[in-house]
Amino acid sequence: MDQVDLIWKNGEFVPWEQAQTHVLSHGLHYGTGVFEGIRCYETERGPAIFRHADHLSRLEKSAQLYYLELPYSGEQIRQATHELLTRNGLRSAYIRPLAYRGYGSLGLYAKDAPIDVIVAAFPWGAYLGEESKNGGIRAKVSSWRRISPGGSIPHAKASGSYLNSILAKTESHNSGYDEAILLDERGFVCEGSGENIFVVRDGEIVTPPHVASILDGINRKSVIQIARDLGYTVVERDVARAELYLAEEVFLTGTAAELVPVREIDDHPLGEGKPGEITTHVQAKFEDALYGRAEEYLEWLDFVEAPAGVDAASKVSS
Ligand code: PPE
């Protein structure tokens, strides 16, 4: 992990090594936390956070779904993030806000465990490997089903939910693949272990709907809009497993991964076994949007503003 100077924790900027938590913190035992993954990109007009407001609103909703009352507003977290990036001298970064039940009591109804909130920002390169965005990846349909809405909340980005993703990811890696594709409890295609999925069939772009237990990805939403603006038809509908193998093209979207083509699933090469035309077309526009090169999507960018009197040199705790 690429360490930087400061982490924001409960309203203060603390040195990276001191941003610690007690071993009896509730979240550590039961996964009672909600988090976000956000990226800041260096653009021609300065560092900009992609769809920051959407990520913060999802954080608030995830917290609500698990009865976690956030002690800070989205706007407070937003400003803290701007200051954190500035103080750490980061022009681009992966940003990880996390709110979790901290130290105070254990047991499942632990209203005395406080809610701790942190925001960390650090460099994080290509999530699925350097070659993934150009060359595409090899995926495996997981033997693990995605958590079902009957037992948990797939729509919340909650820490505990990720045990499911970790099982799937580990299995795919241990079998020599780059990523896992999970089916939902009904057996329809759901998503990757940390990405949403899109399938191209007969020139149309298809992606599983919300009832398929997906996380409501922010990049999914962006890519749907970009693809429609480029003139493609995008349909949200259930996708059968076999459609993965029959697809002309498949790609994944997520903050960490960005837009990654899939070139092979369960040893079936897709299309010509390399990233397809529609995928690369949408990917190019999507990357323009991330890096502020697409005028029409500039409104998605939250340009980082250094709070008055703060610059990269002022690294002390406030
Ligand atoms: N599904 C899951 C299960 C998921 O974790 C992510 C993001 C997505 C879909 C795509 O959502 P969005 O980033 O809003 O487009 N996964 C985050 C965590 C990855 C991690 O390993 O940690 C991420 O990409 O930041």
Same domain, 207 and 140: yes
Query: Residue 318 pLDDT > 50, yes or no?
Result: no
Same domain, 285 and 252: yes
Query: Residue 316 pLDDT > 50, yes or no?
Result: no
Query: Residue 317 pLDDT > 80, yes or no?
Result: no
User: What is the distance in A from the centroid of ligand 1 to the CA of 182?
Assistant: 14
User: What is the distance in A from the centroid of ligand 1 to the CA of 196?
Assistant: 8
Same domain, 154 and 266: yes
Domain stop point among 124, 141, 172: 124
Q: How far is CA 316 from CA 14, 16, 20, 153, 247, in A?
A: 8, 12, 17, 39, 53
Tell me if 154 CB under 6 Å of ligand 1: no
| CA angle at 210 for the pair 50 and 190, rounded to the nearest 5° | 90
In CATH, what number is assigned to the domain containing residue 112?
3.30.470.10
Same domain, 33 and 149: no
The pLDDT value given to residue 308? 82
Q: Does a structural domain hold residue 247? A: yes
pLDDT tens track for 80-111: 999 999 999 999 999 999 999 999 999 999 88
Among 125-134, 188-197, 211-220, 239-248, name the one with the lowest average pLDDT.
125-134
Tell me if 255 CB under 6 Å of ligand 1: yes
Average pLDDT over residues 160-167: 98
- The answer to whether 120 and 55 are in contact (CB under 8 A) is no
- Distance (Å, rounded) from C-alpha 190 to C-alpha 106? 34
- The answer to whether 262 and 252 are in contact (CB under 8 A) is yes
- Distance (Å, rounded) from C-alpha 247 to C-alpha 240? 11
Give the global pTM.
Answer: 0.96
Q: Does a structural domain hold residue 312? A: no
Same domain, 79 and 208: no
- The answer to whether 95 and 40 are in contact (CB under 8 A) is yes
- The residue with tokens 């429609």 is 228
Q: Which domain holds residue 64?
A: 6-124
Instruction: State the amino acid at position 76 in one-letter form.
Output: Q
Q: Does a structural domain hold residue 311? A: no
Q: What total number of domains does the chain contain?
A: 2
Domain stop point among 101, 124, 147: 124
Average pLDDT over residues 62-70: 97
Same domain, 116 and 136: no
Pick the residue whose CA is nearest to atom 25 on ligand 1: 37
- Please measure the distance between the N-terminal and C-terminal CA atoms of the chain and give it in whole angstroms: 25
Q: Does a structural domain hold residue 302? A: no
The pLDDT value given to residue 313? 52
Q: Does a structural domain hold residue 60? A: yes
Same domain, 13 and 83: yes
- The answer to whether 99 and 239 are in contact (CB under 8 A) is no
Task: Please give the share of the chain, as a percent, with pLDDT higher than 90.
Answer: 92
DSSP state string for 204-271: EEEE--GGG-----HHHHHHHHHHHHTT--EEE----HHHHHH-SEEEEEETTTEEEEEEEETTEEPT
Q: Does a structural domain hold residue 71? A: yes
Query: Residue 67 pLDDT > 90, yes or no?
Result: yes
How does residue 314 score in pLDDT terms, banded at 50, 70 and 90? Answer: low
Same domain, 146 and 261: yes
Q: Which residues are catalytic?
A: 157
Q: Does a structural domain hold residue 300? A: no
Q: How many CB atoms lie within 10 A of CB 149?
A: 15
DSSP state of 158: B
Q: Does a structural domain hold residue 157? A: yes
Domain stop point among 124, 154, 178: 124
Tell me the best of 179, 181, 195 to mutate to test the pocket of ligand 1, counting ligand atoms within 8 Å of each CB and taking the most: 195
**In the predicted model, what is the mean pLDDT of the chain?**
96
Q: Residue 192 is encoded by which pair of tokens?
A: 């990757």
Query: Residue 312 pLDDT > 80, yes or no?
Result: no
- Residues 6 or more apart whose CB falls under 8 angstroms from that of 97 comprise 35, 36, 38, 55, 56, 59, 77, 81, 117, 118, 119
Half-sphere exposure of 196 (CA within 13 A, CB side): 25
- Distance (Å, rounded) from C-alpha 228 to C-alpha 99? 35
Same domain, 192 and 95: no
Reduced to 3 states, what is the DSSP secondary structure of residue 60?
A: helix
In CATH, what number is assigned to the domain containing residue 186?
3.20.10.10
Same domain, 37 and 174: no
Same domain, 147 and 267: yes
How long a stretch of residues is the chain? 318
Same domain, 73 and 156: no
Q: Which helix (H) or strand (E) holds 82?
A: helix 74-87
